[in-house]
Chains A and B, each alone.
Chain A
Amino acid sequence: MMAQPQQPITSAFTPLVKRNNAPYLQVNKVWKHYGNFAALKDVSLEIKDGEFVCFLGPSGCGKTTLLRAIAGLDPQSRGEIVQGGQTISLLPPEQRDFGIVFQSYALFPNLTVAKNIAYGLRSLKLSRNQIEAKVTELLNTIGLSDMAYKYPAQLSGGQQQRIALARALATEPSLLLLDEPLSALDARVRLHLRQEIRKLQRKLGITTIMVTHDQEEALAMADRIVVMNHGIVEQVGTPEEVYRRPINAFVANFVGTMNLLPVKVSGNKQVRLQERLINCRRYKKQQTAAAWLAFRPEVAAIKPAGLHGDDKHYEYFNGTVLHTEFMGNFLRIEVNLSDFQQSVQVDVSSQHTDLTLCMAGHQVSLAVPVNELQVFDRYDNSAATGDAGHSAVATDEVAA
């Protein structure tokens, strides 16, 4: 579960397949209404050929609705979806080109593993031998060749999900849709299977969309992440972009943990806290004066109180240590900042920090690089307290 120390996370998404620049899948201004409730509000999106994209968001954000609209299972109310140059938004699902895997596996319980995988091959009018060869090949690919004549109920959850994947890939669709495929599995299997899915996807070069509410999963697997909330797309970007440069407080707090401190804007490189001006990253003009000053727990360093060093590149905040959790390779410290009357979370390496500073009640000074101090619009306080979904993932952070 522990992630790497903070470093550029480039290696994870070096594409192995070639990509042409024309988008393979285009979602244009798609709306979805259930009665008066809009589950998708004017969503637009482009996905490249061979790309692995994650739809990430809290439950009810519309990510599954968007996936099902792309599949045609629950067609959009308005808007257009183009796949491989063809407008598919008005086609019934059986005339579209996709394979799908569900959280529940949806394996046919009365058919053997082999027959499950072969189920869709009937529609291709293949000979018996061809079907058999194809099934054997797929079983080899997912490493379950000795399971061909077992029934789904005799397999573990992880095995069942791999069968479901093989069944979806059997007809060689050019788009693979994964609807929370790992959510029903326990943590270890999940970790293993996500690597396997990613490996298989790279090997086949198949354009893939995965819906998930697990930000760690999205960061680890995706080429690009589409962060959604309340039926709109909040941000689209590589995992690194979404994590390091979130576009607003919601994204910041949904993907990873972000300390948010209420301030007022002042120019475009500073914010104001009462009398004090705080340097920060350059930010765009805000719609309101109210803003959040934000930094990740892992960018702050903890120093003895009153020790101020490099004023040009760092901002210093005085506070008192409330308590410390030992997390193995790092310490999670809660510090109450006297200037803000609010506590923040700081993660420090357990090897390179003076542990005596981290005892509860200690007066400390937090040093935060100016370059890592970001500013977001502050409409309301919901982002700071964390939306639904965030609390579920807050405990296993990608941070160190």
Chain B
Amino acid sequence: MSGMASDHLSGGFQNKELEEQGAIKADKVRLSRQDYIQRAAVLLAVLFLFVALILPLGTMPIKSLQNAEGDFIGLANFASYISNPALFQSVLNSLQIALISTGVVLTLAFLFAYGLTRTCMPGKKTLRALTLLPLFAPSLLPAISLIYLLGNQGIFKEVLMGASVYGPIGIVIGMCFWVFPHVLMIMVTALSNSDARLYEAAQVMKASPLRTFFTVTLPSAKYGLISAGFVAFTLVITDFGVPKVIGGDFKVLATDIYKQVVGQQNFQMGAVVSVILLLPAVFSFAADRLVQKKQVAMLSARAVPYIPKPNPVKDNLFLAICLLVVSAILLVIGTAAYASFVSFWPYNMELSLQHYDFESVGSSWDYYFNSIEMAVWVALIGTGIVFFNAYLVEKGRAFEPVRNLLHLMAMIPMAVPGMVLGLAYIFFFNQPDNPLNFIYATMAILVLNSVVHFYTVCHLTSVTALKQIDGEFESVSASLKIPFYVTFWRITLPVSLPAVLEISVYLFVNAMTTVSAVIFIYSSDTMLASISVLNMDEAGNTASAAGMGVLILLTCLTVKGLHWLLSQQILGLTQGWRNR
């Protein structure tokens, strides 16, 4: 034992001078077969996003600098765009619509979220669930419904006092319905993140309720509010469905792209408008990321959640507000559903199924099944790709620069409006010399486009779920000499099953309802339900359009219901380990 004193080798003070030498570059650790497999997977993921996102997007600025013959003409397209007052007016229109809609939605959503989180009003869960309804239908549906409610032959047409719903009024109202659930989700999260101790402190210091609101409630929800504002602004400025249906002659950027490309076959000008449309989206995206980073530091882990106390006046007031909002949503959705069954609005109000005979108005039930087929593929393929890629980003070993690059690329789709991505896909995949040209005008390009378009939210959901899993699972597997893909399959995936299911439902619903992402790239063989809503509406078959819209809504609700059942039943069986 005493001999041990001599064999201690202290790396202590005598080696101080070696510290400087330590800055020399690190030894290269040998790579195992697993490392190679994993790195190949990461590179494959990067390649996927490079081909399906970066390269197509890259064609956009190039096209915008070319003339119809493909010659480089500098900023001439932009110059002619700005000098054309008819076109430039759309920029102002879009901004105007976006600002007004954002203002209205933020106010309503804040009141609603406040009611849900800070009062003791009854029926919170039901109210909350009902607000989600607009998420399950294309944005076209509320717009169509507004035509029935406030249009030339609308039931409540007098409310507008002679003003026409076709134009900014209709767009703003339609947008509000469609954007509301998105904003509400963020608001509820923001207002839930509150520390009860702050309220106790304010009470002890005898601050008035109003003062408490401005000094405690608002500041703690500040970042959520800002984030919600950016989301609303981006959604409104990039949405295509609402202005298309109810915009009338009022032009916005999103409809301009459509007109330039589909109407006038002027792809260059379409590219110019796309680049312009990218700017606000990219800006608000960047600002949102910045704000969300700050949000993280706001709430300490030791915060005590706020539990509201009953207050009859306040509770009833907010219940009234929330009921009003929910009634409006139900009215809009209900009107569309009702109108689809009415024989000939408003002259023959008898109910019939004639509008669901889509073949009679030049549409087809096939389109509906096309949509389902696409949505299933998007859900299956998208969930697999996104979740595995997120796993590589979050749980991969070493190779950090490339994994970070993958994460960065995964964030881009959120900033790209669906129409812009769709147009980029035309430019990229329609080139005859592109080896991937064969997927053009097939179901594959629709699936690919949708997966990429909705990539970011799924990626973030996956990353959040993966972060909750113990970070040492990979280390343990390595020490037990079990390859990472076995652990992914046996442990990570089963443990993350709830998140995986959620992602697949999200992808299904969005693939089912999206218009803007696929409007440029469907073909006659791959016509989709959501597009046919647009086309039928354009052709004047509004009731059939509403019918198809309702069909989409019902399908999404069914899938959501199945998801709910699945999480209740099957998860209960297979995830028995979750119960203590």
Instruction: Give per-residue flags for B558-578: 1 if the beta carbon is below 8 A from chain A beta carbons, else 0.
Output: 000000000000000001111
A154 touches which one: B10, B475, B476, B580 (CB < 8 A)?
A: B580
CB contact between A120 and one of B10, B11, B24, B480 (< 8 Å): that residue = B480
Q: Which of B8, B27, B476 contacts A106 (CB 8 A)?
A: B476
Known: A123-B480, A236-B8, A236-B10. 7 other contacts (CB 8 A): A10-B1, A41-B11, A42-B22, A76-B27, A92-B478, A94-B481, A106-B476
Within 8 A of B (CB), among A57-112: 71-73, 75-79, 89-96, 98-100, 102, 104, 106, 108-111
Closest-by-CB residue of B relative to A379 is B13
| A75 and B34 contact, CB distance less than 8 A | no
Looking at A126-134, A227-235, A330-338, the stretch in contact with chain B turns out to be A227-235
A99 to B26, CA, bound (A): 26
Pairs across A and B, CB under 8 Å, 12 listed: A31-B22, A41-B22, A45-B11, A71-B475, A78-B27, A90-B28, A102-B475, A102-B476, A104-B470, A111-B491, A171-B481, A238-B5
Judge whether B22 and A237 touch: CB under 8 Å: no
Q: When A99-B479, A102-B475, A111-B491 are in contact, do A92 and B31 touch as well, CB less than 8 Å? A: yes
B482 at the interface (CB under 8 A from A): yes
B575: chain A residues at CB < 8 Å are 110
B162 at the interface (CB under 8 A from A): no
Alpha-carbon distance A61/B5, docked complex (angstroms): 22
Task: Report B's interface with A, CB cutoff 8 A.
Answer: 1, 4-5, 7-13, 15, 18-19, 22-24, 26-32, 34-35, 470, 472-473, 475-483, 486, 490-491, 494-495, 575-580
Residues of A within 8 A of B18 (CB): 29, 41-42
- Contact partners of A234 in chain B: CB under 8 A: 10, 12
CB-based contact A94/B15 at 8 Å: no
Cβ B11 vs Cβ A44 within 8 A: yes
Complex Cα–Cα for A143 and B26 (A): 45
The answer to whether A237 and B15 touch across the interface, beta carbons within 8 angstroms, is no
Query: How does the 8 Å CB contact mask read for A28-43 relative to B, with 1 for contact and 0 for none?
Result: 0101010010100111
A390 contacts chain B at the CB level, 8 A cutoff? no
Which residue of chain A has its CB nearest to the CB of B1?
A: A238
Q: Quick one: which of A43, A152, A168 contacts B577, CB cutoff 8 A?
A: A152
B24 contacts across to A, CB distance below 8 A: 78
Given contacts A75-B27, A78-B22, A238-B1, contact A98 B479 (CB under 8 A): yes
B26 touches A77 (CB 8 A): yes
CA distance A30 to B433 in the complex (A): 54
- Cβ of A93 to closest chain B Cβ, rounded Å: 4
Residues of B within 8 A of A171 (CB): 480-481
| B494 and A46 within 8 A (CB) | no
A interface majority secondary structure: mixed
Contact B27 A153 (CB under 8 A): no
Q: Name which residue of chain A comes closest to B484, CB basis.
A: A94
Q: Which A residues are CB-close (under 8 A) to B479?
A: 71, 93-94, 96, 98-100, 120, 168, 173, 177
Known: A92-B31, A106-B475, A106-B476. A122 touches B482 (CB 8 A): yes
Are B472 and A102 interface neighbours, CB within 8 A?
yes
**Which residues of A does B touch, CB under 8 Å?**
10, 13, 29, 31, 33, 36, 38, 41-46, 71-73, 75-79, 89-96, 98-100, 102, 104, 106, 108-111, 119-120, 122-123, 151-154, 167-168, 170-171, 173, 177, 224, 232-238, 241, 247
Q: Contact between A73 and B480 (Cβ–Cβ < 8 Å)?
A: no
- Cβ of B35 and Cβ of A92 under 8 Å apart? yes
- With beta carbons under 8 angstroms apart, the residue of B5, B19, B476 that contacts A241 is B5
Question: A110 contacts B491, CB within 8 Å?
Answer: yes
Chain A residues lying within 8 Å of B4, measured Cβ to Cβ, are 224, 237-238, 241
Name B486's closest neighbour in chain A (CB-CB).
A122
Which of B13, B24, B577, B580 has its CB near the most chain A CB atoms (within 10 A)? B577
Closest to A80 in B: B27
User: Is the Cβ of B10 less than 8 Å from the Cβ of A235?
Assistant: yes
Q: How far is the CA of A91 from the CA of B481 in the complex (A)?
A: 13
For the complex, give the distance between the alpha carbons of A151 and B491 in Å: 13
Instruction: Give B479 Cβ to nearest chain A Cβ, in Å.
Output: 5
Q: Specify which chain A residues have a CB less than 8 angstroms from the CB of B5 in the assembled complex.
A: 237-238, 241
Q: Closest residue to B24 on the A side, CB-wise?
A: A78
A38-B22, A93-B475, A99-B479 known; A153 and B10 CB under 8 Å?
A: no
| Contact of A92 with B480 at beta-carbon distance under 8 Å, contacts A41-B15, A106-B475 already known | no
In the assembled complex, the CB of A272 is this many whole angstroms from the nearest CB of chain B, namely 24
Chain B neighbourhood of A233, CB < 8 A:
9-12
Q: Chain A contacts of B473 at CB under 8 A?
A: 106, 108
| A-B pairs with lowest CB-CB distance, top 10 | A120-B480, A236-B8, A151-B577, A106-B472, A77-B26, A93-B478, A92-B32, A123-B481, A75-B29, A42-B15
CA distance A168 to B482 in the complex (A): 13
Chain A contacts for B29, CB-based, 8 A? 72, 75, 89-92
Across-interface contacts of A108 in B (CB, < 8 A): 473, 490-491, 495
Q: How far is the CB of A206 from chain B (nearest CB, A)?
A: 14
Q: Are B26 and A33 in contact (CB under 8 A)?
A: yes
Kindly state the separation between the CA atoms of A109 and B26 in the bound complex, as whole angstroms: 36
The CA of A90 and the CA of B26, in the complex, are separated in Å by 11
Measured between beta carbons, the chain A residues less than 8 angstroms from B490 are 108, 111
Q: Which residues of B contact A73 (CB under 8 A)?
A: 475, 478
Residues of A within 8 A of B470 (CB): 104, 106
Contact (Cβ within 8 A) B8 A153:
no
Kindly provide the distance from the CB of A349 to the nearest chain B CB, expressed in whole angstroms.
28
Q: Which residues of A contact B7 (CB under 8 A)?
A: 46, 236
Chain A residue nearest in CB terms to B18: A42
Whole-angstrom distance between the Cβ of B280 and the nearest chain A Cβ: 37
- The residue that A94 contacts in the complex, of B28, B472, B478, B495, with Cβ under 8 A, is B478
Shortest distance from the beta carbon of A282 to any chain B beta carbon, whole Å: 16
Q: In the complex the two chains form, what is the Cα distance from A271 to B478 in whole Å?
A: 55
Which residue of chain A has its CB nearest to the CB of B475?
Answer: A73
Query: Of A77, A109, A232, which one neighbours B11 at CB under 8 angstroms?
Result: A232
A232–B12 CB distance below 8 A: yes
